[in-house]
Amino acid sequence: MAAFRSRHLCFIAAAVALTVTAPAAVASAAPAAQDSSSAAALREVLFVGNNWEGTADVIKSSGDFAKVGRINVIPDKDARMAEINGDLIKWIYFMAIRNGVGEGHDQFVDDMYTTPDGASVVVSRPSFADVVSIDLTTGKINWRFPVSGYRSDHMAVSPDGKRVAVSASISNTVHVLDIVTGKQVGSFKTGDKPHENIFTKDGKYIYNMAIGDVNTSQDAPWQDFTKGDRRITVVDANTYQQVKIIDMRQRLDAIGLKDYSDAVRPAVFSPDESRLYFQVSFFNGFFEYDLATDKITRTKSLPKNPTTSDDRTTYVNDSRHHGLSMSPDGSKLCVAGTMDDYATIVNRATLQEGPLVTASKPYWATVSGDGKDCVISESGADQVTAIDFATGQKVVSVPVGDHPQRVRLGHVAADWTGTGSGS
């Protein structure tokens, strides 16, 4: 019955989307500029977004990954809920998110990045369809940007730390915001359900991966056409004009993988950005894509957990494996085997995997501050786990809040131990 209600609400939301125009996104007033002389010494940390709880745990970026502090990312929850409950369309979408992609839970924090001065953290909040900047000293909101449509998703920060790109997954739009003021500096259209965003190292381009409809039950290979327009959109990061479209359907078909999904999920560039490694829906493994030749050059299948069901409708939002990072020297990949309950380090040259490190529904993978470890979020165990890139062995696990997903490097003041309202 719960599954029926989830699908029913999603269908209602989809129908409403055909008849209702999304409100224009407008940023709130920005705070006064900070005096650079007041900037304290900074320390590097990892922010762990606890999606269902509405908090972010801040831990050391390397070593023992001990907890530093915690912030509340929904200090305005009462105001947001009053707004949602007073608008039927917003309420329908809020409930569809809860019962669809939220698996019966609200999605309060998807992604987060700190400002260059370490004074604030910018957070995308799917259920509230917005991006907010939270003051790391007071815990109060500096500015709020409602995205177009009714759900915000993955973000990316520019190499200089001045802009943040956020996917508005229902309006098929990426908004690019000034990270300090919250003002929109540009936007661009994407395929269906934009997800991951990546800035190139030189800051010239933004890659957006549109994953299509991942919360429907039409998951058999022959039903793939129902999933929507899934593609990589590449835009100029200064003009926000489209440079090219990469449709992995054509590239997969070219190597005989017609039954594989072309929904590109987490992805990571090689250090020289000549190769893109990416995961797709339903697949226990990843692909290597050569940008110069425009071809998929290698396919890596990873072990299946014998206890994992072959029923693809049981995979969370179509994710078989969801989480991918690379060691700074480019020699190792770290793969989160979400539905197979493990993570593993893969040699990039040989594509040979290392030990399978048991993990409970790992949902993201990033790199520690010192570059020695891969850090995964275990959404099923409410902890993050560090795995040594060199040995492939587990280093340590650290408890965090309810349903950790995104893990991002950031900076806080050297003496910071939490916010006034969220520690």
CATH number at residue 351: 2.130.10.10
Whether residue 163 is contained in a domain is answered as yes
Angle of helix 77-85 relative to helix 88-99, nearest 10 degrees, comes to 110
pLDDT of residue 305: 97
Whether residue 106 is contained in a domain is answered as yes
pTM: 0.90
Mean pLDDT, residues 163-174 = 98
Contact in structure between 120 and 114 (CB atoms under 8 Å): yes
- Look at residue 79 and give its three-state secondary structure: helix
- The pair of structure tokens assigned to 236 is 């100029």
User: What torsion, rounded to 10 degrees, do the Cα atoms 186, 183, 130, 237 define?
Assistant: 30
- Residue 40's pLDDT band (boundaries 50, 70, 90)? low
Whether residue 7 is contained in a domain is answered as yes
pLDDT of residue 419: 79
pLDDT of residue 215: 87
pLDDT of residue 191: 97
Q: How far apart are CA 291 and CA 279, in angstroms?
A: 16
Whether residue 27 is contained in a domain is answered as no
Q: Each residue of 234-261: b (16+ CB within 10 Å) or e?
A: bbebeebeeeeebebbebbeeeebeebb
pLDDT of residue 13: 40
Structural domain of residue 144, as residue ranges? 2-19+44-413
- Look at residue 400 and give its three-state secondary structure: coil
Contact in structure between 110 and 154 (CB atoms under 8 Å): yes
Mean pLDDT, residues 343-348 = 98
Q: How far apart are CA 377 and CA 112, in angstroms?
A: 14
Whether residue 32 is contained in a domain is answered as no
Whether residue 337 is contained in a domain is answered as yes
Whether residue 26 is contained in a domain is answered as no
Contact in structure between 20 and 76 (CB atoms under 8 Å): no
Whether residue 423 is contained in a domain is answered as no
Mean pLDDT, residues 105-130 = 98
- Residue 112's pLDDT band (boundaries 50, 70, 90)? very high
Q: How far apart are CA 11 and CA 224, in angstroms?
A: 18
Q: Please count the structural domains in the chain.
A: 1
Mean pLDDT, residues 366-386 = 98
Q: How far apart are CA 107 and CA 124, in angstroms?
A: 10
For the chain, percent of residues with pLDDT exceeding 70 = 90
